[in-house]
Amino acid sequence: MSAILADKPLAVTDGKASVTEAQLDSIEAPLADKDRIANERQQKIDAHEATIREKDATIADLQAKLAKKPAEESKQVVDSGSKGESADKTETEIYCDTVNSARKLFNEV
């Protein structure tokens, strides 16, 4: 309060402090701003909590659907890994081949 009323000191008469209308306004204005900011933040928190509840409900629905369906049997195994000579090479050899082909391409330009 001292910072708010720094240029407008309180008048003290018979041990009682009195405030003018302007001083009261200068006290209430920052408090109203803080209340407004607190309300805005609470609204954001409420909105985020609602979003979280919606996503939790969606997750629960998906988990329930997943639990109801039995897993499909695998009838065929497909190997989609790399084929050819790079399958036999180590990571270092693949890296060196890549660097060498990049150099070759650079030298052509």
Tens of pLDDT along 28-50?
888 999 999 999 999 999 999 99
Q: How far apart are the first and last CA of the chain?
A: 73
Residue 27 lies in a domain: yes
Quote the number of domains for the chain: 1
What residues pair up with 13 in beta bridges, in sequence order?
Answer: 16
**Residue 91 falls inside a structural domain:** no
Q: Is residue 75 part of a domain?
A: no
pTM, whole model, 2 decimals?
Answer: 0.45
Quick check: 86 and 92 in contact, CB under 8 A? Answer: no
Paired with 18 in beta bridges are 11
| CA–CA distance, 30 with 37 (Å, rounded to integer) | 11
Give the structural domain span for 35: 11-69
The whole-number pLDDT of residue 83 equals 58
Quote the percentage of the chain above a pLDDT of 90.
40
Q: Quick check: is 32 in a domain?
A: yes
Tell me if 81 sits within 8 A of 75, measured CB to CB.
Answer: no
Q: Report if residue 106 sits inside a domain.
A: no
Q: Which residues contact 4 (CB under 8 A, 6 or more apart)?
A: 26, 27, 30
Residue type present at position 13 = T
